[in-house]
Structure 1
């Protein structure tokens, strides 16, 4: 069973500010803010801009391709993890220098978007800017996930996963509402500038916390590398690759990777199908859709905070996963079969909200298991492998969503979600997700 890193019994404060390893409130606050920031590019890309493009007449195929390309960096997280497990500025900790660099580049990309001000007809330029923006967010995500595996004790991990996804959902919600309202006037420059300021303010907050008490706050500050960083940071790529490779030799890990991939269809279709369904079929304005998605993400954030922890405690991880994915499959099938008879907007909003919230809750359950089976020495790489599987599947689903709509209509997308949810659940059960006997001690 994987133990958490050793934590000093008494908090050590540098200049009155606790380090992340010595303060639970600091850990939770920092991870919450960092995951909130990850929601900014996702909300801009998958909600505000997709609705804006749909309102400007872009087709489902064009929007699906835009989302797939813009989110592609999230599929390269394995490469990001390899870099982070191999290289870091050790006096600032294993992950913190990567996090701060990613935040700075995210702000620079938003400023570039404000300066270039692409229109809806410049979809290639817009896709490129969103690709870079999500690349920064993906680097941030891998670093934060590695940080969580490094410093969060086992008894906090289900809660921290709920906080992670709730915070990201809140970031998506707030950025969706802000960007959707500003884009309604066609002003992408103001949109990008406002989001850049939001990222800057949040980055200043997370920048004041060290990983461990002895480390530097900034590259030029006083401090030394911690013993944990020196011990666990790798000096060559091969040990990282070999350790991750050994994990892939386990058939249960491979089944888990496949199961993760099959459960991603609801997220992909929320990104690329729902905007055209709402704007082009139901007649919504783009800002109305952005506000709806913002509210939905806030509701999903509440579900992420309230549902997974008691559900796992009550049912156990495996049964909790079964309950959630069966519900997603049932609701998706019901939506697909009843869609031709929908009257007004109510059915769309109810099905969309319930499927998204339950999918998010099931993802938290799956990520809790992924954290449990990660080796802390190569946590960024191994955890990134799990997430890369999920994110690559999400991009593939988005890229092909427009063609699925053209072939079978919007009903086909819901029925496809139902099918993939069932397949994903079966693969996870074959992978023995939740079986504590599979959790081994990885502190070699």
Structure 2
């Protein structure tokens, strides 16, 4: 069947009108997003370490490739302001990102003598991560634009869970293929999956009547035209109005506190298990990766159902209570620190609750976004989240200078108690009403 035939068959298929198609699409896109991240953030550093590269080289690689994750907020306004509306608000950028990821993986597979060309690998991975940012921002914004509020929690559970699974699968697959074949063969093989996934956004419209490709039939949908921001001044003025709303500020404070605590624990665990539980780094990595995969699957299965049944805030609060309880047990019963079973259970709880917290936080942030500037506003939320991750790692170093592990567990629990209190004052319904007022004022001038 020709591409033209496929396009003709799909002329009436639009993501905005089919919830099953939306779920499948976002699962596939986030799974594919996890594939390159599993390779670049985990498989390549492990491959470098196994082949005798120094800690300095590995750390240098890691520091450089993560730069784009800190610059997402600079890309979002450009993506909000400029797009090819006849193909949708987000889809052109999504295709651009997906194609760039695939092309970057091809380039990575062609690096000669890869162990002797780490600087070149670092540059290619840096570029690859820039394309991941384009795809990530476009996909998140598309969810906010076309998924009804009552479905966003379920969509987030599928998205984050599938990304976690994608990272775990790609890490295992690439590590195995490098051992059996070569670095180049492993990367080239994984690029095939990215190429196949590219057909998903290529053959599906955001809204009915839009173009699939620039040269095919179609036109700008009324919804996309209405939502488009036509000037930089209007964009930043709108952003300024929404970020000062009370519920949005409270949410950002809560997100910062939660994610600081979670990365405090994530930074603590490998050090704690090696120093206090007498584990090896290999044992910790195996246990952590297994529970991380399990947490991703549980998030996909349970997270969305829980949000639809009890609400986003209740999911976050429940995960926080479980984390507080497990931290208190670790602080009080220090004798279990050398018991492998109990420590493994604690790691499993941490991994699973982290997945649920991510799902809940992403869903809550999406609920609070003004669709007109969703790319900028949601990316701003994720920037705060990323700053919190850095703060969590730094906080551990500060606390360990004058505290024992026991008291650090107490601090961790106390941070989450404060987060639960803050969440009680967050009212998404009132915030949505405020956004409706802003939208009405925008339309009526």
The alpha-carbon distance between structure 1 residues 50 and 416, as it changes in their structure 2 partners (threshold 3 A), is: farther
Q: Give the C-alpha shift of residue 192 in structure 1.
A: 2.0
- Match of 1:21? 16
Q: Name the one with the larger helix percent.
A: 2
Q: Tell me, in whole angstroms, the C-alpha distance in 2 between the residues paired with 1:61 and 1:426.
A: 42
Q: Superposed, which structure 2 residues align to 1:31-430 within 5 Å?
A: 31-52=26-47, 67=62, 69-116=64-111, 127-184=122-179, 187-265=182-260, 268=263, 282-283=279-280, 285=282, 292=287, 294-332=289-327, 334-335=329-330, 342-343=337-338, 345-397=340-392, 417-418=412-413, 420-429=415-424
Q: Tell me, in whole angstroms, the C-alpha distance in 1 between the residues paired with 2:237 and 2:51.
A: 49
The alpha-carbon distance between structure 1 residues 355 and 256, as it changes in their structure 2 partners (threshold 3 A), is: same
The alpha-carbon distance between structure 1 residues 405 and 58, as it changes in their structure 2 partners (threshold 3 A), is: farther
- Match of 2:443? none
Q: Which of these two proteins has the greater Rg computed from alpha carbons? A: 2
| Larger RCO: 1 or 2 (CA < 8 Å, sep 6+) | 1
Q: Give the C-alpha shift of residue 133 in structure 1.
A: 2.6
Q: Tell me, in whole angstroms, the C-alpha distance in 1 between the residues paired with 2:195 and 2:53.
A: 32
The alpha-carbon distance between structure 1 residues 61 and 222, as it changes in their structure 2 partners (threshold 3 A), is: same
The alpha-carbon distance between structure 1 residues 313 and 228, as it changes in their structure 2 partners (threshold 3 A), is: closer
Q: Tell me, in whole angstroms, the C-alpha distance in 2 between the residues paired with 1:290 and 1:216.
A: 46
Q: Tell me, in whole angstroms, the C-alpha distance in 1 between the residues paired with 2:360 and 2:374.
A: 18
Residues 40, 171 of structure 1: 8 Å contact kept: yes
TM-score by length of 1: 0.81
Q: Give the C-alpha shift of residue 46 in structure 1.
A: 3.9
- Secondary structure of 2:71's counterpart equals helix
Q: Give the C-alpha shift of residue 110 in structure 1.
A: 1.7
Q: Tell me, in whole angstroms, the C-alpha distance in 2 between the residues paired with 1:276 and 1:338.
A: 19
Residues 82, 381 of structure 1: 8 Å contact kept: yes
Residues 324, 413 of structure 2: 8 Å contact kept: yes
Q: Give the C-alpha shift of residue 64 in structure 1.
A: 6.8
Q: Tell me, in whole angstroms, the C-alpha distance in 2 between the residues paired with 1:193 and 1:400.
A: 40
TM-score by length of 2: 0.81
The alpha-carbon distance between structure 1 residues 126 and 16, as it changes in their structure 2 partners (threshold 3 A), is: closer
Residues 110, 196 of structure 1: 8 Å contact kept: yes
The alpha-carbon distance between structure 1 residues 399 and 232, as it changes in their structure 2 partners (threshold 3 A), is: same
RMSD: 3.7
